[in-house]
Amino acid sequence: LTREAVQTMLGFTLAHVGINTADAEEALRVAKRLSTLFNFALKEGNSSNFAGTAFEVMKGQGPGTKGHIAIQTNYIHRAIAYLERNGIAVDMSTAREANGVLSAVYLKEEVAGFALHLLEKR
């Protein structure tokens, strides 16, 4: 019962999958293809392009050998504490803040070539 309450409180959900590419040209080509395949809106950005909210296509080598997987949580600080209590290292040098509030941070490990990062739901 306690475990279920903690999982409900943390609210871990898949936010998006990040895909590394060689350069901006490939990133746009991949993002356009994903957008076409699934009828997702294309959003071009400075360092990446999004196909809907499901895929972030990096304009070059981003974190992770193959890319990254973003996991949303209701409370990023609580999620960090939970993970660290369970022996999972968080790389605070990757922390991103928006207006002085922690918004994202990567874990130190990769899984199947993908970096993992937490995003706080907004």
Banded model confidence at residue 3, pLDDT cuts 50, 70, 90: confident
What are the start-end ranges of the H helices in 1-122?
A: 2-10, 24-38, 76-85
For residue 121, give both structure tokens: 């739901």
| Interval 74-92: pLDDT, tens | 999 999 999 999 999 999 9
| Interval 85-111: pLDDT, tens | 999 999 999 999 888 889 999 999 999
| Interval 21-46: pLDDT, tens | 999 999 999 999 999 999 999 999 99
Residue 2's pLDDT is what? 83
Give CA–CA dist 98/114, Å, rounded.
24
Residue 6's pLDDT is what? 83
Residue 122's pLDDT is what? 77
